[in-house]
Amino acid sequence: MGKEVTAFAPASVSNVSCGFDIMGFALEGAGDTVTARLSTRPGVRIGSITGSRSALPADSSANTAGPPVIALLRECPSGTGVEIGIHKGIPVGGGIGSSAASAVAAVVAANALLGTNLPMERLLDLAIEGEKIASGSVHVDNLSPCLWGGFILVRGYNPIDIVRIRVPDSLWCAVISPQIEIKTEHARKILPQSVPLRDVITQTGNAAGLIAGMLTADLPLIGRSLCDVIAEPARAHLIPGFALMRESALAHGALGCGISGSGPALFALASSREDAGSVASAMGKVLAGMDCLYTTLVSRVGAKGACVIS
Ligand code: HSE
């Protein structure tokens, strides 16, 4: 045996404030790498996990990289097994699509390794099996930008309807990741199960405004629309310095700022690389003042999704 394929899948920002479970975009400069190897041992085995500060399950049914490949082998039986090596380039439970990136990189690598050539839409269905482990629910707002790249609107879930949204060339993003872990499953359990009609109206207006702003390159409209009245109020207390970081981002030129995914990362959009850099430093100063370790990333909306790299 010995044949192997390695795939890379990028980090991503999901929700984008007003698009809970329905919007996300890929980032540049961070992601997970997964190598899939043919094995004479049937089934799927995790051979190695590197690059993570947190302990991750080595059981293939409990690690988000495993179930997508298990489902692929079930759908396209090949008579061989697959061994997976995961290199984490994204903090686990950090809010920038760590579980999605492992799931997507694994299924893209295994699809190439086994020559199954499944289309992207099927790979998304399989990757969902991994994301379910992390969050206990089906949502594809990290998985889809991770797979396709760019900014994605999930127009619907039944069936899944993915729409790629053009973004203004001048748009940049600053991400700050405090070194604490928030489990998505927990961050979903604390959400309200029903919301007042006035909040639905506000959120719908903002979501429509954000998409219109992207398509017409109206940066002030994008900024006005980056407001979440549903998930963020329930989750903000989980993030140290959230209000101060947001305030500081806006004072240093951010168009808008919010929780990335289920946190603890925050993202801010800006109209130039320089502004995004200033915003990242300003948010960093807040966390430094609280003795909270963090990393920052300044990125465009990443045009590239997951790909085979060797
Ligand atoms: N939309 C998801 C949430 C993203 O906010 O729970 C986290 O994976």
> Does 64 contact ligand 1 (Cβ within 6 A)?
no
Peptide bond into 264 cis (omega under 30): yes
Atom index in ligand 1 nearest the CA of residue 100 equals: 8
One pLDDT digit (tens) per residue for the chain, 310 residues: 569 999 999 999 999 999 999 999 999 999 999 999 999 999 999 999 999 988 899 999 999 999 999 999 999 988 899 999 999 999 999 999 999 999 999 999 999 999 999 999 999 999 999 999 988 889 999 999 999 999 999 999 999 999 999 999 999 999 999 999 999 999 999 999 999 999 999 999 999 999 999 999 999 999 999 999 999 999 999 999 999 999 999 999 999 999 999 999 999 999 999 999 999 999 999 999 999 999 999 999 999 999 999 9
> Does 141 contact ligand 1 (Cβ within 6 A)?
yes
> Does 99 contact ligand 1 (Cβ within 6 A)?
no
Expressed in angstroms and rounded, the spacing between residue 134 Cα and the centre of ligand 1 is 10
* Torsion region of 18: left, alpha or beta (phi above 0 gives left; psi -120 to 50 gives alpha): alpha
> Does 17 contact ligand 1 (Cβ within 6 A)?
no
Expressed in angstroms and rounded, the spacing between residue 23 Cα and the centre of ligand 1 is 10
- Asked if 1 and 39 count as a contact pair (C-beta separation under 8 A), the reply is yes
Expressed in angstroms and rounded, the spacing between residue 202 Cα and the centre of ligand 1 is 20
Expressed in angstroms and rounded, the spacing between residue 25 Cα and the centre of ligand 1 is 13
- Tell me what pLDDT residue 18 has: 98
- Tell me what pLDDT residue 136 has: 86
- Tell me what pLDDT residue 15 has: 98
- Tell me what pLDDT residue 1 has: 52
Expressed in angstroms and rounded, the spacing between residue 185 Cα and the centre of ligand 1 is 9
Around Cβ 42, how many Cβ atoms within 10 Å?
13
Cα separation, 146 vs 180, in Å, equals 23
Entry field: residues in the chain:
310
Nearest CA to ligand 1 atom 8: 261
> The dihedral of CA 187, 189, 190, 195: what is its sign?
positive
- Tell me what pLDDT residue 103 has: 98
- Tell me what pLDDT residue 77 has: 87
- Tell me what pLDDT residue 53 has: 87
> Does 94 contact ligand 1 (Cβ within 6 A)?
no
How many CA atoms within 13 Å lie on the side-chain side of 38? 13
- Tell me what pLDDT residue 60 has: 95
- Tell me what pLDDT residue 2 has: 66
> Does 235 contact ligand 1 (Cβ within 6 A)?
no
Amino acid identity of 242? F
> Does 139 contact ligand 1 (Cβ within 6 A)?
yes
**How large is the greatest C-alpha to C-alpha distance in the chain, in angstroms?**
60
- Tell me what pLDDT residue 236 has: 98
